[in-house]
Amino acid sequence: MSKITFLGAGSAVFAKNVLGDCMMTPALQGFELALFDIDMQRLKDSENMLNNLKQSIGSTCVVKAYSDRKEALRGAKYVVNAIQVGGYDPCTITDFEIPKKYGLRQTIADTLGIGGIFRNLRTLPVMLDFAKDIHEVCPDAWFLNYTNPMAVLTNGMNTYGGVKTVGLCHSVQACMPKLFEALDMETEGVRTKIAGINHMGWLLEATKDGVDLYPEIKRRAREKQKEQHGDMIRFELMFRFGYYVTESSEHNAEYHPYFIKKNYPELIERFNIPLDEYPRRCVRQIEKWKTMREELVNNKNLEHTRSKEYASFMLEAMETNIPFKIGGNVMNTGLITNLPKEACVEVPCLVDANGVTPTYVGDLPPQLAALNRTNINTQLLTLEAAITGKKEHIYHAAMLDPHTSAELSIDDIVAMCDDMIEAHGDWIPKFV
């Protein structure tokens, strides 16, 4: 029996989307859906939910929960990763509250910045442990990574884990449809090209019947920008740098040095920046789960509509050899020629029986490559810190982070990193 292993299966809603999609895919019928999570209650909840879903939609997939990670992985053909190390309490709270003491404010803190750095440092060791198990019990498996920070973790699994890994993010799929919806433009027949790095990919082209749609996009965006809305950062970046970026304004507010500045507090209101958004979101999700749990876990009539998540479409393409195109995070093997070869990049990829084949992009417009490199610098030094165990590279990563370096002195950056290391305790390895 072929096997799909889901690591972090206690994320019930996401497990329902990905594995529910698999249950509805003809080419994946009869597969074992192996569930693993370190939270036994959440694991049991997901097992019950998925068995109910299996019965209600008539799938022949077999749902099985494991308390032993290696056994969950044994013989897997595909592995889906959706873990979060440290959770809301204590780690997310730490990621926000300690920087705040230094006057450094964040919105999401799961990708770059001081929060992203430490999320990497506590997550990558766990994922490299996954890699050791994979080499032992399912060495040929494809590893589909949904966990943030996407670029560093996907890079680490490929470069140091030696596992066939592709990083998957919703931002590429959502970029054009959400932009066009906001601008009241039709999406049918629109062709796009998107490339860059995770959360900072660029809508390089948007055409219909050979006509460039960017002039109309910018015209409508300038009208919309006259009133406050939820995407003001991305529109501003498009006006200044020429292209629309894939990930949300709340994310991009903290990827650049221009928007969250304690000496210019008026920028927060001007660009409608939701400071501390991620902790609020976590609290809402924790509260929502209390009421949602019963609806999902014990609902014998649970239904599912195949989502737009890439995973099931990718596995279907690999099983049937019918190609499917994704925006994937892969190593930069000459794909984007003016970004570092050591970087993880986000480019169009073809998926079929051969696996994931990235496509060549060439040079990005120079200003876009420059913006990407400001983030890549911190990503690569964070990876260096995680692999070498040297504290100095944590400092380097933070000192080169665009937002952090724009707000704090070198002394404060080092002191803040030391405070973060101490607060994380056993959640991260020992650094010297």
Label the pairing between strands 164-168 and 324-331: antiparallel
Q: Which residue has the tokens 């032992």?
A: 136
Answer yes or no: are the C-beta atoms of 247 and 254 closer than 8 Å. Answer: no
End-to-end CA distance of the chain: 46
DSSP track, 213-247: -HHHHHHHHHHHTTS--TTHHHHHHHHHHSSEESS
Helices vs. strands in the chain: H and E counts, helices first: 17, 13
How many other C-beta atoms are found inside a 10 Å radius of the C-beta of residue 284?
10
Distance CA(342)–CA(357), nearest Å, equals: 18
Max CA distance (Å), the chain: 61
Nearest to 159 by CA among 188, 178, 131: 131
Label the pairing between strands 211-212 and 200-208: antiparallel
pLDDT category at 123 given cuts 50, 70, 90 is very high
The stretch 335-345 carries a mean pLDDT of 98
Q: What is the pLDDT, as a whole number, of residue 294?
A: 87
Nearest to 300 by CA among 11, 7, 17, 52: 52
pLDDT reading at 9 higher than 90: yes
How many other C-beta atoms are found inside a 10 Å radius of the C-beta of residue 97?
13
What is the token pair recorded at 190? 């629109």
What is the token pair recorded at 342? 């050591």
Distance CA(144)–CA(151), nearest Å, equals: 13
Q: What is the mean pLDDT of the chain?
A: 97
Q: Which residues contact 5 (CB under 8 A, 6 or more apart)?
A: 34, 36, 72, 73, 76, 78, 79, 80, 138, 141
The stretch 49-62 carries a mean pLDDT of 97
DSSP track, 146-194: -PSSHHHHHHHHHHTS--EEEEE-HHHHHHHHHHHHHTT---TTEEEEE
Given 170, 256, 393, 403, the catalytic residue: 170
pLDDT reading at 161 higher than 90: yes
Question: pTM of the entire structure?
Answer: 0.98
Distance CA(244)–CA(234), nearest Å, equals: 6
Cis preceding-peptide flag for 90 (omega within 30 of 0): yes
pLDDT reading at 1 higher than 90: no
Q: Which residue has the tokens 């990497």?
A: 120
User: Over the stretch 219-262, which tens digit does the pLDDT of each residue have?
Assistant: 999 999 999 999 999 999 999 999 999 999 999 999 999 999 99
pLDDT reading at 200 higher than 90: yes
The stretch 284-294 carries a mean pLDDT of 92
Distance CA(239)–CA(300), nearest Å, equals: 51
Distance CA(263)–CA(346), nearest Å, equals: 34
Looking at the chain, the whole-number percentage of residues with pLDDT higher than 70 is 100
Looking at the chain, the whole-number percentage of residues with pLDDT higher than 90 is 99
Domains of the chain, each with CATH number or no CATH = 3-169+300-310 (3.40.50.720), 172-270 (no CATH), 368-427 (no CATH)
C-alpha dihedral sign at 224, 227, 231, 234? positive
Answer yes or no: are the C-beta atoms of 375 and 359 closer than 8 Å. Answer: no
pLDDT category at 107 given cuts 50, 70, 90 is very high
Distance CA(375)–CA(403), nearest Å, equals: 10
pLDDT reading at 338 higher than 90: yes
Is 393 tagged catalytic?
A: no
The stretch 150-178 carries a mean pLDDT of 97
CA dihedral 69, 71, 75, 76 (to 10 degrees): -30
Nearest to 173 by CA among 151, 194, 152: 194
